[in-house]
Structure 1
Amino acid sequence: MVLVAPACTSGIFGMESLLRRLFGRIVQRGDLLVTSASGERWRFGDGSGQRVAIRFTDRRAQWGILLAPDKKLGELFMDGRLIVEQGDIYAFLDLVLGQLHGQRDPLIIRIIERGRMLYRRIAQANGQQRSRRNVAHHYDLDGGLYDLFLDSDRQYSCAYYEDGDATLEDAQLAKRRHIAAKLVMRPGDRVLDIGCGWGGLGLYLADVAGAAEVLGVTLSSEQLGIARRRAKDAGLDRQVSFELQDYRTLGGSFDRIVSVGMFEHVGVTNYRTFFETCRDRLSEDGVMLLHTIGLSDGPHSNNPWIEKYIFPGGALPALSELLPIIERSGLVLTDVEVLRLHYAFTLRDWRERFLARRDEALALYDERFCRMWEFYLAACEVAFRHRNVVVFQLQLARRQEAVPLTRGYIAEMEEALKRAERRDSQSAVAAE
């Protein structure tokens, strides 16, 4: 359905005709109202659901959507040149991208993607200095920002929703528990956490799962300071240590290696180095768990808006890229789990928390930053709901006998960890 207000529709407005046809081809369901820079109003969809209304403020903004939508849409929203007048940016993205699922990209997008793939390896050549700069761009922001939307343990990666009613706190605890179970933790194990964030997983592995020693490494000075303080406050600083160190410079041997939400920053040119380093650091009977966002439909270039504003140097791997490298690295793939929609639920909870405390974010940064962050959370949530973006959990070992024969041990160990969590909680209450 397209409704055009009585305004000029020819001459210089040929570009608007192209824009109208683009929306008309995509939006067949729902209710979308678009106001063009010239004042024309177009309505798309079948009228179902809540209306979403957007407005373009200038003609260059409209050209941007036509020529480079995956980059310009976020920029236009940040700059206030695409205004959402009814609904919010999530509702708009959900309405549009939800209808693109399963459709073949337009020819111009496919041509652009081929060019970006040729440039991909150069763009993601993340040496040690560049890796540190990339990490600082995102993770060394004001710590108060992350307090606005993360759980109390500051888990900044996909949670694990065991049921639809789980809170963010429950789901992030379940994630730590699920990972610990897959690591098949044993008393006395020495653990390496590559990309340890603010330290929550390392502290859990020591306090609940029984690790004798945990070393967490990060490239973020902000995360390092908080992780060390948390270890000291918990009385675990002799058992758990954190260092500002690149994984490529590590020495020693570890019984267990875990990496959660860090592999996306490695870069495609360093995949081989990453897995070979992990093999060299893993003991002969050791187990590793890699938790990473990935693509279920083969390799793609990074989203240019995400690359520029959120995660420079990032890359989402496809299994078809990783498995040949893992096979050649000397590691054995012992288990694969694909977490579908869990990150969409996580991002939903983050986005709702952020919007509820948006005024506090505005006190830390400016309006443009707040719009950028809202777009980031909304666009990523929609990608996990409607595009071929998932989370892979890969369990790896040097010997196939390092893990039990069947997967029943995962549920058994999770139950044991739940009992340990309850004991810790009861001890904490008694201490008070």
Structure 2
Amino acid sequence: MKRLLVLGAGTAGTMVANKLRRRLDRHEWQVTVVDRDDAHHYQAGYLFVPFGTYDRHDVVRTRHHFLADGVEMVLGEIDRIEPDDDAVVLADGRRLGYDYLVVASGTTPRPEETPGMDGSEWRRSIFDFYTLEGAEALAQALRAFDHGRLVVHVTEMPIKCPVAPLEFAFLAESWLRRRGIRDRVELVYVTPLDGAFTQPVASAHLAGMLEERKIQVEADFLVERIDPERRTLVSYDEREVPFDLLVTVPLNMGAEFVARSGLGDELNYVHVDPHTLLSAAHDNIFAIGDANDIPASKAGSVAHFAVEVFIGNFLQHVQGRPMTGSFDGHANCFVESGDDKALLIDFNYETEPLPGKYPLPYVGPLSLLRETRANHLGKLAFRHVYWNLLLPGRPVPLPAHMSMAGKQVPHEEA
């Protein structure tokens, strides 16, 4: 009996376990998933919790409910991987052997990595929304906030869902305006990037949206520390950004057991081939979703599209055949912009977000890089798709590879 071990029952890990359970002979393969608890979080929903659109019941389900019959689930904290022995050791001493290992342990915010962030003002005037507890605490703080300086801040890239901080800024502006207190609040967006986003066309478009909403931008800001007493962000070049309410995205890092196992980079991400997701160091270890170091967005859509390519590659690999699938870094993200509208971006390793229509060329019904109500409804509807199609591993009629059909390429000036 061959053993497939999946570390992490989040988005990527659950999809891999379910899809491979259906494709691997049950008499020849054992499929096991390991996670620390039985609570699966729809992390994209955290964005809506501070504004009262979603609550805990909308974003949390049991993990085992979404695992296919025949997938064994083991609850326990992972201590380390011993790749030379093909084994995973849990914190309680249990050892789980494997023939093939899939690391899908994700990434988490680390406020303790920035001096002053998780000090005396943590969850008092400094909040995050990348955890459910943080989003719930922020919801209470926002209800009590009626004037002052609200700063939305990104510590460093990469982060889960890189557009989420922008979405929060747009939603906060709309929320404050609807409450009739927008003119009493100064909104500032602080980013380590040189613009609103990483790609020129989208960055220019999003920068225009920030300017239109009178949201100030402090770019190229690499935070060195937070002074909680003065309620001030301090950068390495000694710039300062004061705040009354700080909504920050802490440094994101991969799982500590990845570092203890000698498999990670400085941020605990597993080094893999960006097209096959196979470990650069071990021929029977893959890393998918947010756990790897591929140069793509750490977003649910990337996990989804990558898993679609990975399944075929894995089946070829275990048969000793060359892997013919090549993941292109495809990402597809809704960007909430407030007032019940959103825009959509679609891009990959080589191609930046461009205007156009999606998923059908020239028809849509969704618009790329344009604010529409249809895009907003699409984002809200995705929660149903996530719980009922994506996680169970059912087919989602979207191509894994990005298509240029229907996209409008800007003409270069002569």
TM-score normalized with structure 1 length: 0.27
Which has the larger Rg?
A: 1
The structure whose residues are more often helix, as a share, is 1
TM-score normalized with structure 2 length: 0.28
